[in-house]
Structure 1
């Protein structure tokens, strides 16, 4: 499209004797685009939509703000004027001086990760979300519908 629009369109406007923006917009909408689309448009190979539903959990992971912190000597992490107490963990006795990542999700909740493991979750006010509240029914992975599914 760059060569078509950057090279051909100015020549078409000059041939039509167009010198102002309003006339150029009318020419493009009424004459140029219909002729261009008639010449270059092709029907879609498949009638189905190419868009698939986004997984809200994956979107939350993508759209979160992630920051690194070092755990203090009292096993807490400072974030947004709050002190987040790390709970007891089967991974380690404590996380003092460990570098952790804090993820701030679009819904306001927070999560602290040590490496690939989530070690704690918090409400926007800093209250701990118990791990039992995080457990739920496992979800099926999203996949595209095939002809057999229809």
Structure 2
């Protein structure tokens, strides 16, 4: 937020003060009336997990040398007690 930099806020307390001063000015400058009274937020159903919902998942195929690439990085998969090699296996990350 540019206002934090302009105010020279470098601590959480200073940042909170800048935001507390900024929000009323912003709301005055850009008012939008609510179409309905009350909160629009609804609780997350128990069948959903926030950590599963707000994440990215990628599928990769493990190379013959037991490595997989992600974001220009090569990741080596070490053998474990179940498998000696993960070559050609699908891996989710």
TM-score, normalised by the number of residues in structure 2? 0.45
Whose strand proportion is higher, 1 or 2? 1
Tell me which of the two structures has the higher relative contact order, counting C-alpha pairs closer than 8 angstroms and 6 or more residues apart: 2
Greater radius of gyration (CA): 1
TM-score, normalised by the number of residues in structure 1? 0.29
